[in-house]
Amino acid sequence: MKSVRSSCELFTASALLLAVVTRALELNVTNDGPAILDSTITFMAKLESGGYTDLYFQFRHNVPHAKQEYWIENGTMASLALTFESSRHPSGDYVMEVTAYESYFFSKHKVAFGKCRFTLTRDIVGRIVVSQDNRTLPNDRLILATNRTTNFTFELHDPSGYFNKSVNSLSWKLDYGHSVYAPYLEKNFTDTRQHTVYLVVVALVSRPNSTSQVVKVGSFTRDVAPKDPITSVSVEGNVWLRHGDVVSLQVSCNGSAPYNYCWKYFPGNTTSNSTANLTCEEPISTNMCRFPLVHYFPQDGPHLIAIILSNVVQSRPFVKNIEVHIYDVSHKGLLSMIILPITCSLLAIVIIVTGAAYHVHTRSHLHVEVADFDFQRGDHELTERTFWEHLLSAWRDAFPGCMRPHDPYDTDDEHPEFGNAKNDLGGDAERSGGRSSGGETSPFVKNVALRLRDEADGGDAPPSERKEAAVGGSANGTESPPFVK
């Protein structure tokens, strides 16, 4: 009785453990489809873990008009190859379910479960492969480079080898143009419009165990969008700068948008090979390839700027190296900046000294103001004078001791101390019309001169001379002023 009870408890514990393991394990199920009808499609089931050594696999699918359940005993993995005939089975998408069992005593216990979807088709399975420069473009990529040879080839999906002995015919067509029968198509796109490549594949396949052939057909399309790669970069700006100046360059390039760019700085001895494989860690994106480059180099000497650009069709970035030279110039004062201030300062000093000397000189002169009441002035005093005559007259007024005519009443020899007074009187009298129209000295001027001389001599001149001078003035027909008489 105890042994039976122990067996029941052990069975219950094993069942619980098996249930826990079953929920934890998952079976990986795959297939090599899609497959064309009449070819073979293979399903694979594999248990990655669990510690099992011998399992039973149950394959079940939902393809109509076919056997739907298969059992395989083979360790922890199993494969099943099935052929679905085109005359009996329809094309479409189906599901294959696989369950793994472990044999326990006289029963099987479920260990893991998995499933996968597969496709059966009546058309040939494959794809159009696009390549440039020995590089294959991904299926989801439409963009390729212009002005480069583009190869279009057909890749047949036939893992079972169904088409190994078939006779195939490929017909290529670009944008509904003329058909080209060839195993591949080459094209060089020069524009940036989107194009569509069409392919029709016809295969004659021999039936197994028969001399007759079956025709299999497949049609495929592939859209491509050519874009211009970056082939030229232009840099405008000054690359020879004095120390302290800022590098300011304008960069532009060709090619199709969008663009990604950045730049890096290197010493002047960096070679082009060192910058050939540079990439941008944090590129700047733009739709117009024209941007400024501004940088300041604190050290003198040569520097290298590597400009890295790329767009959607660049297999590798385009690197443009620009060498910038920073030179130092010794600061020397310009000659004009030194001579001009000194010259102006000296000239100002000369003007000030000359003015001061002239002022001191003129203050020491005796100034005598004479009123000329002789209204019988000659006609030459009323005539219009030219500019040069006015200038000469002004010169005589400013310098009375120069360029004056000989005066018969000059008393410089007898009384040299009155030279200045006489000169002033002579100049003023001459300017005032002191000479008569006949060229003789005016009696008024003579009387004034005699009076000044008498005053200088202390009034010792005899009255007869003074009277004679007065009478002389009257004799000429001009009455002397009252103060002279």
The region of weakest confidence among 40-44, 252-256, 314-318 is: 314-318
Please return the burial class of 278, using the count of CB atoms within 10 Å of its CB with bins 0-12, 13-18 and 19+.
Answer: middle
**φ, ψ dihedrals at 468, nearest 5°:** -60, -35
Stretch 159-185: mean pLDDT, rounded? 94
Q: What is the pTM of this model?
A: 0.60
Cβ atoms 100, 45 nearer than 8 A? yes
Average pLDDT, the chain: 80
Residue 229 has pLDDT above 90, yes or no: yes
| Second CATH level (architecture) for the domain 21-121 | Sandwich (2.60)
CATH number 3.40.50.2300 is the correct assignment for the domain at 126-227: no
Q: Is the pLDDT of residue 156 over 80?
A: yes
Pairwise CA distance, residues 51 & 112, whole Å: 12
Average pLDDT over residues 178-200: 95
What tens digit of pLDDT does each residue of 56-101 get?
Answer: 999 999 999 999 999 998 888 999 999 999 999 999 999 999 999 9
Examine the pLDDT at 19 and tell me if it is beyond 70.
no
Q: What is the pLDDT of residue 75?
A: 82
The C-alpha atoms of residue 183 and residue 169 are separated, in whole angstroms, by 8
Beta carbons of 291 and 308 less than 8 angstroms apart: no
Measured from the Cβ of residue 216, the count of other Cβ atoms closer than 10 Å reads 23
Q: Amino acid letter at 369? A: E
CATH classification number, 233-327, choose in 2.40.30.40, 3.40.50.300, 3.30.70.890, 2.60.40.2410:
2.60.40.2410
Where do the structural domains in the chain lie, given as residue ranges? Answer: 21-121, 126-227, 233-327, 379-475
419/366 Cα distance (integer angstroms): 10
pLDDT tens-place string over residues 236-251: 999 999 999 999 999 9
**Predicted local confidence at residue 117, as pLDDT:** 97
Q: Is the pLDDT of residue 377 over 80?
A: no
Look at residue 441 in the predicted model and tell me its pLDDT: 52
pLDDT for 100? 93
- The residue behind tokens 């940036």 is 192
What does DSSP assign to residue 181? Answer: E
Region 446-459: mean pLDDT is 61
Residue 216: the pLDDT is: 96
Cβ contacts of 89 within 8 Å, gap of 6 or more: 37, 63, 64, 65, 66, 120
Q: What average pLDDT does range 426-432 have in this prediction?
A: 43
pLDDT(336) > 60: yes
- pLDDT > 90? residue 151: yes
pLDDT exceeding 90 applies to what percent of the chain?
52
Q: Between 369 and 245, where is the model more confident?
A: 245
pLDDT number for residue 381: 57
Would the CATH topology of 21-121 be identical to that of 233-327?
Answer: yes
Look at residue 415 and tell me whether its pLDDT is greater than 90. Answer: no
Q: Kindly tell me if the per-residue pLDDT of 196 is higher than 90.
A: yes
Instruction: Give the confidence band of 382 by pLDDT, cuts at 50, 70, 90.
Output: low
Q: Give bridge partners of residue 302 from the DSSP assignment.
A: 325
Q: In this model, does residue 456 exceed pLDDT 80?
A: no
Q: Is the predicted pLDDT of residue 15 greater than 90, yes or no? A: no
Res 475: pLDDT: 40
DSSP SS3 for 89: coil
Give CA–CA dist 217/202, Å, rounded: 5
Q: SS3 for 387?
A: helix
